Amino acid sequence: MCRSIKQLRHADAEPTEQEIYDAARQFVRKVSGYRVPSKRNQDIFEQTIQEIASATRKMLDEFSQSSPLAHH
């Protein structure tokens, strides 16, 4: 839970769907404060992970279509 979320955007390779999902899950865990949600909150927890993963994929796709990768 203390680890930093891994950078997914690299010049040499596209992130896998699993890497995107894992980053989204880590983000939701950090924001919610729960490593594992209660049974009552499992559905919204997973739905939020899926929405963040989808938004992340869209953002990365738009970056790669609109401009060359730049290193920071």
- 10-residue mean pLDDT profile of the chain (72 residues): values are 65 86 94 94 97 95 68 47
Residue 1 lies in a domain: no
Range of the domain at 51: 17-58
pLDDT of residue 34: 94
- In the chain, the amino acid numbered 55 is A
Supply the pLDDT for residue 66. Answer: 63
Domain count, the chain: 1
9 within domain boundaries: no
Residue 45 lies inside a defined structural domain of this protein: yes
pLDDT of residue 8: 78
| CA distance linking residue 54 with residue 8, whole number of Å | 14
Any alpha helices (H) in 1-72, and if so which ranges? 17-32, 42-66
Confirm whether 29 is domain-assigned.
yes
Specify the pLDDT at position 58.
Answer: 95
